[in-house]
Structure 1
Amino acid sequence: MDVVISATFVGPKVAFTGVEEPEAHLTVFHTQMMLSEGSDAVHCKLFMSTLTGTALEWFVSLSDGHVTIFAQFSTLFREQYIVNRAPPPISYDLFDVRQYQGESLKDFLNKLHTKDKDMMVHAFRNGILSGPFSESLIRCHPKTFCEIRCQAVAHIVAEGEVTEKRISIAPVRPRGPSRPQPMRVHEAMTEKKAQGKQHPY
């Protein structure tokens, strides 16, 4: 607590109220502190400043001298808010993941999460909608999820280019010289009568 932090030092712009996911908060904190060369004590003090609400109340309730290093602080923080952690997806639940009608391929890809890459390959093929991309998977038969992802990225890029072309304004065909409209029968008879009156025999 006695460490002095320079007034020009820009601290992390992140807050933890007690309901967020602790690991995600630690990740954001570490990312924002990467450019800092502060000591372990600076990390502890700045991490304390990111706590608000019930999380700050929890920290204040700790006995004096309870936190000595940042690694210990991180462990205490994780243990206190372990119930906030999202449960890891069970592999067989992946087969319930489906691509909805109108859902982009990119969004569908982001829904699949597991360390079992072989399971992700089967789950992806099982959940994707029938269409040009699913047909390309049948033809190419990728064996790994990395190959599927690379093929999906190429498909997404190509799909985006096609969409841009569709929404672009097509050039207007220049009009040719206007043709004289055909004279109607009534108008032709009226003109003949008028000519007869102007030039009587």
Structure 2
Amino acid sequence: MAFRTGCDAIWCRAFSLSLEGEALDWFDSLPDGSIENFKGLSNMFKNQFAACRAQEATIVDLMNLKQGKEEPLKAFMDRFQRTVRRVKGLSTELALQHVMPGLHPRPFKDSICRNPPRSMEELRQRTVDEIRVEDMKQRYRKELQEAKAEKQESRRDNQGSRPGGGKAREGPRNPRFPQYTQLNAPRAQILQESLSAQVMQVPQQRPTP
């Protein structure tokens, strides 16, 4: 874009429209009223990014970029994008070739392998969609764990509120007396004589519930 104007406000506005990525993030973070004129903005920009020139990355840095086992996809892709911007003269095709090897084996890596992105914008959009899916799965797992914990807690409360629910099961009973007189007749005969003498009553049969 080429134009002629002596208005610093227009120059500052045009300058901000030419920024992207890390430079645009820096511009958006400037406090209100900190820009007095275009010359001051230029000096602020040079001071901010002058040190970055000595920190340019190489293609080797991009090749060594690997996603950690527990590293979220968003964190890795942010590191990938920053490294890509630091590699001088890196083409989009070469940058896209190093995305898949750096990803940890997960469904998103399989998707990239089956259908490689054709542009950085397509990669960005697919990354955003995958991050959204990961967030939904994480929330779903958290809800399941909370529901399971509530169910177990409710079950413990119900068991504690039942009569005898917290008591241990009684073991076999011990004999009441240390020894008993041995019988000198069969048990059936003794029982029959007790019933005839009305010493014992015949138990009545209860109706089946």
Give the TM-score normalised by structure 2.
0.48
Greater C-alpha Rg: 2
Give the TM-score normalised by structure 1.
0.49
